[in-house]
A and B are shown apart, each in its own frame.
Chain A
Amino acid sequence: MVNFFLKIGLVCIIIVAHAYSYAWAQNCNNLIFGTIKDAKTKEILPGASVAIKEIGAFLVVDDDSHYHFNQLCNGNTYTLQINFLGYQQKEILVQIKKTATEINVLLNPLNSQLAEVNVQAKGGINKLLQTQSQLKGKELELSRGLSLGEALKTIPGLSAIQTGPTISKPVIHGLHANRILIYNNGVRLEGQQWGSEHAPEIDPFIANQITVVKGAASVLYGSDAMGGVVLVEPSALAFNKKLTGQVNLVAISNNGQGAVATMLESAVGKNANFCWRLQTTYKIAGNAKTPNYYIKNTGFNERNAALTLGYRQNKLNTELFASTFNTKLGIFTGAHIGSITDLLNAIDNEKPDPSNQSNLNYKIGRPYQNVSHNLIKLKINYPVGDFGILHAQYSNQQNNREEYDVVRGSADKGYQLKFDLNTQNAELILDHTIYKNLQGKVGLQGMFQQNYYDGRYLIPFFTSYNGGIFLIEKYTKNKLSLEGGLRYDNKYMQARLRQNVLDDNSPEIQPQFNFDQVSATFGTGYQILPHLKWTSTLAKAWRPPAINELFSFGVHHGSGSFEKGDKNLSEESSINFTSGLTKTNGKLTGEISAYINHINNYIYLKPDLKPVLTVRGAFPSFTYVQVNARFTGADFLTQYQFNKFFKTSVKYSFVRAYNLANNNHLEFIPPDKASLIIQASLNDSKKIKNTSIDITINHFAKQWRVKREQDYAPTPNAATVLNIDLSSQLILGKNSFNLSLSCINALNTPYRDYLNRFRYYADETGRNFILRLQIPIGKGLPSKI
């Protein structure tokens, strides 16, 4: 590891040396912005796309039809290319002469003679009216090297369920796991997501932007999206660039983590109709350290790759995407408990037993997990006359998970538990414009799944078929947008297991299930002022009970509980209302949103009064039951730009979740969180730009709403944690290098997180320095749009 830091240090020295050897470099910190409107009616055109050919930058304009590109070089000439379905394509040459250039664009509607339309321009709805947040640009760069769950924690309303320092799952408005959908480059991720110690099999390095849809979004994304959707989105393929790419290097001090991620892409051929992109990521990490001790066996390594091939001919646009994700991760040995007495002893001790403490090393012993996830996707877009674009997509995912426990004679034994899950999805969606104010999507989606296991019983074999049909339309007139959608889903599932899962001679049973329901959404948006918008969404969503909720049977060793499924559970269904205000420009910007989510037949683990007596002692027993529940809460983000140099942000979010059967607060709901961020920027010089220092103070309240008898240990105390980020851009000739240094938990504060399932055993990680360097390859600028 020392070597790794040395190399990074060396690279930094070389860069600085180079910087001084150049006498002059261009000023590349200029801005183009503007609005896109219909040339005749002067109505705004949300959904239009703008590209800058020379640098391969591409974006789709927001609901206010506004666009902007930064990091453009003074004196250069750029070609803006504007596309919108049903309008003539427009190209505008712009020479940059000042820091901010405003180019407002008027598009002329197409006449019947259809010119060649750039099929990248999306028609229909590309963004729901629902509350959304994005992780992109600088914030995304500052999360490089972290897992998806960790990276999303900076967004108000999001938190993460953790299992030790290495396993992290996103939580949106208090809902997680089976109630959140994650889309990996347009494909619904299907792993063993029911397990809270099963992290999503996603490499965040492939993303150029991560979008979070907060609240129920089942109509467009399918059942299960009761809490929200996480969209991991790579940038659009560049059909007009020569070989470019970037290398990301990340070094993390706390666990000695090193990460190298590379991306290369290029167009092939003169006609710019073929291009490819290759991404690879390698990460290796050792034991994590709390302020006072290393926690044994918490290292991991991860090996990922993704290849995208794009081909377009006339109006046809195809994309083939293949990715592989492979990880081996250690589980803290101190959390492997045999009995409830072990758990209570661990809670009584201030810190883990010395045998569960360690030093910084990369050894991974039992217990550990070996997980791989392979995905292949084929997507075809084809414009259907003047009416819209037809999207067809097929994907095949193979998820393999092996769990290795601490067992006697483990040297000659393999895994104790293995799952093999195959998922195939197919969809056909028509993005359409009925007339210029009314646009929408209509689609069919199908999913087939087959799961096998080997080793110890946890969930049965199953085969399932899902089918869904939906229609969603959006009407925009002046300042008002209205959105409405309906969807019908059906799921058929057959499980295979023994009548008594612990008895080899028990006969096989094949219970069958059939679930179906309608989802609906109705949204309104109103542009109160040019930069102030109000949106509201009322949505109905549902999900069928998950396989573990129906069929679990056995001791859960991480939490010291005996869990029993119930095969008579019915579907959960919810009514979700979200309303919010967003202000996007001016000195004061921000967003505030509030929600109420009423869930009928909410499934949760209820403690039984009688413990289960086993050879390992008595275990408290839990059964999956259904109650009605209500989640309410709000997210608040406000930013104030004092002057060119100083900016401050305040974030606050809370969620209250009630079991309506007894009016108790539900367990495992994130405590209130508040953050204060002070950002100072420096003046740009010729060599060093966008330099800023961010000081973040995060405060996590105590979750006092959970009663003492609802948990083995009192909920962790409130904690305040200080983070500092320094980031800068070094310009060398036409290339720019992004460099950042973060210090997480700068004061080395010991604390425990209520949403960490290992809070009984050990503190959160202590002070952690993260050094990141992004090196461009070829002439591309780093992907900051």
Chain B
Amino acid sequence: MKTNTKLSLIAFMAITFAVSSCKKDKKELPPVDENELITTIKLKFTNASNAADVKTFTWKDLDGQGGDGPVVDTIKLATNKIYNMEIAEVLNETATPVQNITEEIEEEDYEHLLVYKPSTNLLTVQISDKDKNNYPVGLMAVVNTNTAKNGTLQIILRHQPGVKDGTEAPGSTDFDITYPVKIQ
């Protein structure tokens, strides 16, 4: 009895470690799935009185969070003009193929709100689109410029699932970017 038990103990220890150390780790690394990553935002401005006058300004941070900083175009607009502005593209360019997030925002426009914060007396932004609950969305807006001036335009995309009430406060931020602006 005694010897048997001792033997079985030793065998059990040996088996334990044998089993552990033989296990080969062959599992593949999972694909990079940077949660909700947005790398690129493109704004399109169309002159309301001249449909051929179209300008696009890009905000880009291709390596995602950390690493190199973003590359940002300066928004250059003419004085005393009315522009129809739209968020042309919101992309994740690190994904293959490139992931177009604009469509997701359009589909779930009742959960999203774009907030525009221009620096003082620079320009005005009037949101022109609404969701099914009649709250503003902000993928489209009318921009009025005034006199020549330099400043910034901050654009925040708020994700507000189930709590959207037309104000900025509820929910969390999906992007928060700032463009330099020149009205000339």
Which residue from A316, A453, A621 sits with its C-beta under 8 Å from B30? A453
Kindly list 18 other residue pairs between chains A and B, CB separation below 8 angstroms, not including A409-B108, A461-B29.
A338-B174, A382-B9, A394-B12, A408-B105, A409-B104, A409-B107, A450-B25, A452-B27, A463-B25, A497-B29, A501-B32, A612-B65, A614-B61, A614-B64, A614-B66, A615-B70, A615-B177, A617-B173
Contacts of B29 in A (CB 8 A): 461, 496-498, 508
Q: Chain B, 10-45, contact with A by CB distance < 8 Å: what is the 0/1 string?
A: 001100110011010101011111111111010000
Cα distance, A619 to B173, chains bound together (Å):
13
Report yes or no: B66 in contact with A503, Cβ–Cβ below 8 A. no
Provide 7 A-B residue pairs closer than 8 Å at the C-beta atoms, listed in order of the A residue.
A408-B159, A409-B107, A426-B12, A446-B17, A502-B65, A614-B64, A615-B176
Which one, B80-88, B123-131, B133-141, B163-171, is touching chain A? Answer: B163-171
Report yes or no: A461 in contact with B172, Cβ–Cβ below 8 A. no
**What secondary structure prevails in chain A residues at the interface with B?**
strand
A-B contact count (CB 8 A): 154
Cα distance, A326 to B63, chains bound together (Å):
38
Report yes or no: A502 in contact with B94, Cβ–Cβ below 8 A. yes
Cα distance, A562 to B65, chains bound together (Å):
9
Which residue from A446, A465, A496, A615 sits with its C-beta under 8 Å from B16? A446
Task: Knowing A382-B5, A408-B101, say if A498 contacts B23 (CB, 8 Å).
Answer: no
The answer to whether the Cβ of A616 comes within 8 Å of any Cβ in the partner chain is yes
Contacts of A390 in B (CB 8 A): 9
In the complex formed, the residue of A with least CB distance to B31 is A504
Contacts of A336 in B (CB 8 A): 172
Contacts of A417 in B (CB 8 A): 35
In the complex formed, the residue of B with least CB distance to A427 is B13
Cα distance, A426 to B9, chains bound together (Å):
11
- Of residues 401 through 423 on chain A, the ones whose CB sits less than 8 Å from some CB of chain B are 405-410, 416-417
- Of residues 134 through 184 on chain B, the ones whose CB sits less than 8 Å from some CB of chain A are 156, 159-163, 165, 169-177
The answer to whether the Cβ of A424 comes within 8 Å of any Cβ in the partner chain is yes
Contacts of A426 in B (CB 8 A): 12-13, 16-17
The answer to whether the Cβ of A613 comes within 8 Å of any Cβ in the partner chain is yes
The answer to whether the Cβ of B120 comes within 8 Å of any Cβ in the partner chain is no
Task: Knowing A337-B172, A355-B171, A394-B12, say if A456 contacts B5 (CB, 8 Å).
Answer: no
Which residue from A457, A501, A503, A615 sits with its C-beta under 8 Å from B175? A615
Closest CB pairs A-B (n = 8): A338-B173, A355-B170, A355-B163, A617-B176, A448-B20, A338-B172, A339-B173, A614-B65
The answer to whether the Cβ of B50 comes within 8 Å of any Cβ in the partner chain is no
Contacts of A446 in B (CB 8 A): 16-17
The answer to whether the Cβ of A711 comes within 8 Å of any Cβ in the partner chain is no
User: How big is chain A's contact interface, by range?
Assistant: 35 or more
Nearest-CB distance from A464 to chain B (Å)? 11
Report yes or no: A355 in contact with B66, Cβ–Cβ below 8 A. no
Contacts of A345 in B (CB 8 A): 169
Cα distance, A353 to B31, chains bound together (Å):
36
In the complex formed, the residue of A with least CB distance to B157 is A338
Contacts of A405 in B (CB 8 A): 35-36
Task: Knowing A409-B108, A455-B30, A612-B66, say if A428 contacts B175 (CB, 8 Å).
Answer: no
The answer to whether the Cβ of A590 comes within 8 Å of any Cβ in the partner chain is no
Q: Chain A, 35-52, contact with B by CB distance < 8 Å: what is the 0/1 string?
A: 000000000000000000
The answer to whether the Cβ of B1 comes within 8 Å of any Cβ in the partner chain is yes
Nearest-CB distance from B155 to chain A (Å)? 11
Q: Chain A, 323-363, contact with B by CB distance < 8 Å: what is the 0/1 string?
A: 00000000000001111011001000000011110000000
Contacts of B25 in A (CB 8 A): 450, 461, 463, 496
The answer to whether the Cβ of A471 comes within 8 Å of any Cβ in the partner chain is no
The answer to whether the Cβ of A769 comes within 8 Å of any Cβ in the partner chain is no
The answer to whether the Cβ of A314 comes within 8 Å of any Cβ in the partner chain is yes
The answer to whether the Cβ of B121 comes within 8 Å of any Cβ in the partner chain is no
Task: Knowing A455-B30, A504-B32, A504-B96, say if A465 contacts B21 (CB, 8 Å).
Answer: yes
